[in-house]
């Protein structure tokens, strides 16, 4: 299930949207971005870090198609990376996404989100699970259909299914598949500012060899708008986890003549807390986004991680053409199974300016610092990255 499957879904969604149109609003934004970067530790390794100059060229196109009952959004992009010294790491990444919504009846809304991504960077895996892996080409496919039913003017229910398949080229990393079904209920209070939420999920992560990790999650929370420019979200609850893994055990029954190694299935059930808290606040020239989350994620190492993350970002508009951004986050990743006790800490901070030379052409210099700690082994790695991005975008708009 890869490029052909995704293209099939994309074509079906495009034809479906086109046939439904009476009055339509189209927008298309083709763009090209060139990034020149120096990175002091391209693999974020503990020992003998490699530094390099990296040139990246990214042609892309974003589109939006809207009618009274249909919305179709998409992103199509390629990203070619060239390493000046370590040219064996050169790679062309792919990123294709199409999302659709359709109001079938006044009370029923259908949705479908799809993506097909091929990348070799560290950030995709790092942001997903908090773990650093080598630059193995990674392919991920996602399909997420859903349906929302408006029971009353204030109460709505949503059911969705999420399928994810992740494949790695290097044999030391473990492919995995996840299936998740979600049930969500939202109730808008009479103040028209607060929405109460109940979210329930059933998730299964499958690894080769029959290894699996099952999760039942029950969460409660609320979204509150203090005012038009200030919003707060809170969702919390519990994940009940059951892992079923094969492990090797040593048999000493014939000691001292010989020691045998046998395969044994190990099951383990455990409850862990879940949190997702975020806020967004906007002023005239300043904006703030911050949050805290604790959930679980599959990883390339063949086990599920407990993943805790704290993040914040500040944006400031100096002028109509010049904006600045400061951001940072901290994450803690620990193994969720009983086999090992591994702790990984990741810190990163960014600072960048974006200047619009013209309406279509902009330049963005920036700096990024990263640090990755293996607390169990007492090892630490850090990287400095300085870059300049040039972007040209040509918006096209059409109405009929």
Q: Indicate if the pLDDT at residue 159 is higher than 70.
A: yes
**Is the pLDDT reported for residue 137 higher than 60?**
yes
Q: What is the pLDDT of residue 35?
A: 97
Weakest mean pLDDT among 281-285, 301-305, 366-370: 301-305
Q: Give yes or no for a contact between 182 and 159, defined as CB atoms under 8 angstroms apart.
A: yes
pLDDT at 317: 97
**pTM for the full model?**
0.85
Q: Say if residue 328's pLDDT is above 90.
A: yes
When pLDDT is averaged across residues 47-62 and rounded to a whole number, the result is 94
What is the pLDDT, as a whole number, of residue 311? 96
pLDDT at site 258:
47
Would you say residue 44 has pLDDT above 60? yes
pLDDT recorded at residue 112: 94
Confidence of residue 1 (pLDDT cuts 50, 70, 90): very low
User: Stretch 218-222: mean pLDDT, rounded?
Assistant: 97
> What's the confidence (pLDDT) of residue 274?
95
Rounded mean pLDDT, 205-215: 89
pLDDT at 377: 80
**Chain mean pLDDT for the chain:** 88
For residue 264, pLDDT beyond 60: yes
Looking at residue 128, what is its pLDDT? Answer: 77
Position 356 confidence tier, pLDDT thresholds 50, 70, 90: very high
Query: Per-residue pLDDT averaged across 78-99, rounded?
Result: 93
Could you tell me the residue range of the domain that residue 170 belongs to? 3-399
Contact 70, 18 (CB under 8 A): no
Average pLDDT over residues 329-333: 92
pLDDT at 252 over 60: no
- Tens of pLDDT, residue by residue over 23-37, are 688 899 999 999 999
Q: Is the pLDDT of residue 254 over 90?
A: no
pLDDT tens, 166-177? 999 888 888 999
Report the CATH number that the domain containing residue 35 is assigned in CATH. 2.40.160
Residue 149 has pLDDT above 50, yes or no: yes
pLDDT of 250 strictly over 70: no
* Lowest mean per-residue pLDDT among 282-291, 310-319, 338-347: 338-347
Question: Which one, of 214, 266, 265, lies nearest residue 241 by Cα?
Answer: 214
In this prediction, residues 316-337 reach a mean pLDDT of 91
What's the domain count of the chain? 1
Residue-level pLDDT at 255: 43
């Amino acid at each position: 299930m890869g490029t052909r499957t995704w293209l099939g879904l994309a074509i079906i969604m495009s034809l479906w949207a086109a046939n439904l149109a009476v009055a339509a609003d189209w927008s298309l934004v083709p763009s090209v971005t060139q990034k020149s970067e120096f990175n002091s530790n391209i693999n974020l390794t503990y020992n003998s870090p490699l530094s390099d100059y990296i040139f990246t060229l990214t042609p892309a196109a974003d589109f939006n198609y809207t009618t009274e009952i249909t919305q179709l959004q998409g992103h199509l992009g390629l990203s070619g990376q060239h390493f000046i010294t370590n040219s064996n790491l050169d790679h062309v990444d792919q990123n294709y996404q199409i999302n659709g919504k359709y109001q079938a009846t006044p009370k029923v809304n259908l949705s479908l989100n799809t993506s097909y991504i091929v990348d070799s960077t560290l950030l995709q895996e790092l942001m997903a699970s908090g773990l650093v892996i080598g630059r193995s080409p990674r392919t991920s496919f996602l399909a997420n259909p859903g349906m929302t039913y408006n029971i009353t003017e204030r109460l709505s229910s949503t059911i969705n299914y999420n399928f994810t398949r992740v494949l790695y080229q290097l044999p030391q990393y473990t492919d995995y598949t996840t299936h998740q079904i979600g049930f969500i209920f939202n109730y808008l209070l009479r103040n028209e500012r607060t929405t109460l939420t109940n979210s329930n999920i059933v998730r299964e992560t499958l690894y080769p060899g029959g290894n699996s990790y099952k999760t039942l999650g029950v969460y409660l929370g609320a979204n509150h708008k203090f005012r038009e420019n200030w919003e707060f979200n809170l969702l919390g609850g519990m994940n009940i986890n059951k892992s079923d893994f094969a492990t090797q055990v040593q048999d000493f029954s014939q000691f001292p003549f010989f020691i045998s190694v046998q395969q044994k299935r190990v099951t383990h059930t455990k409850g862990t807390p879940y949190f997702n808290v975020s806020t967004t606040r906007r002023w005239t020239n300043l904006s703030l986004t911050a949050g805290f989350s604790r959930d679980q994620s599959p990883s390339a190492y063949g086990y599920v991680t407990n993943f805790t993350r704290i993040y914040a970002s500040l944006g400031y508009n100096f002028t109509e053409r010049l904006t600045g951004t400061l951001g940072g986050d901290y994450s803690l990743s620990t193994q969720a199974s009983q086999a090992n006790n591994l702790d990984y800490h990741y810190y990163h901070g960014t600072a960048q300016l974006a200047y619009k030379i013209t309406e279509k052409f902009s330049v963005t210099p920036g700096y990024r610092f990263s640090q990755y700690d293996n607390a169990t082994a007492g090892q630490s790695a850090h990287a400095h990255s300085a870059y300049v991005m040039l972007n040209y975008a040509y918006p096209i708009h059409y109405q009929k």
